[in-house]
C-alpha cells in the first residue's frame, strides 16, 4: 500500500514538472505582450531589440538583420558559444544582466518560472500574430 502511494506521488510530481518544463504556448503569447514593445516574434521585423522569430536554437547575437545593433556583450556571448536553447533562455529571461552582463536590454526579467516556461513554449511554437 505504501509503495502504491509513493509511486502515485512520484507520478504526480513528475507530471507537474513535465507540464512546467513544456510550458503553454497560449499563455506564453499573453506573457509575451510584455515584450512586444521591443521585440517581434511572429515576423522577422526588428524593433528596439532583435526579432525573436526562430530564436530557439539560434546563437546569441546572430540575427543578421540586427548585427550592427547588438551590444558587444551579446556578440561576445554568441562568440563564446551561447545558443538560445531552453536552459539559456530560462536563465536569460529570469535575469538578463546576470546571464549576459553588459547587454543593452532594459528589461529586468520575468519572476515567474511558469511565465518563463510559457514564453519559451510560445517562441518554440512558431508564433503567430
Cell numbers 540586427: residue: 66
Per-residue pLDDT of the chain (129 residues; tens, 9 = 90+): 444 444 444 444 443 443 445 899 999 999 999 999 999 999 999 999 999 999 999 999 999 999 999 999 999 999 999 999 999 999 999 999 999 999 999 999 999 999 999 999 999 997 766
- All structural domains of the chain, each given as residue ranges with its CATH number in brackets, are 24-124 (1.10.760.10)
Q: Taking Cα atoms as reference points, which of 88, 82, 83, 77 lies closest to residue 116?
A: 88
Other Cβ atoms closer than 10 A to 63: 21
State pTM to two decimals.
0.81
- Cα-based distances in Å from 26 to 29, 32, 56: 5, 10, 17
DSSP state of 34: T
Amino acid at each position: 500500500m505504501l509503495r502504491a502511494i509513493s509511486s502515485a506521488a512520484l507520478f504526480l510530481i513528475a507530471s507537474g514538472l513535465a507540464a512546467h518544463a513544456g510550458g503553454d504556448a497560449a499563455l506564453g503569447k499573453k506573457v509575451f505582450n510584455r515584450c512586444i514593445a521591443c521585440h517581434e516574434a511572429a515576423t522577422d521585423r526588428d524593433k528596439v531589440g532583435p526579432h525573436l522569430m526562430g530564436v530557439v536554437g539560434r546563437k546569441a547575437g546572430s540575427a543578421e538583420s540586427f548585427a550592427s545593433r547588438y551590444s558587444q556583450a551579446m556578440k561576445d556571448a554568441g562568440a563564446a558559444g551561447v545558443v538560445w536553447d531552453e536552459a539559456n533562455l530560462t536563465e536569460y529571461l529570469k535575469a538578463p544582466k546576470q546571464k549576459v552582463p553588459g547587454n543593452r536590454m532594459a528589461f529586468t526579467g520575468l519572476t515567474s518560472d511558469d511565465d518563463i516556461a510559457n514564453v519559451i513554449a510560445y517562441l518554440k511554437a512558431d508564433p503567430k500574430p
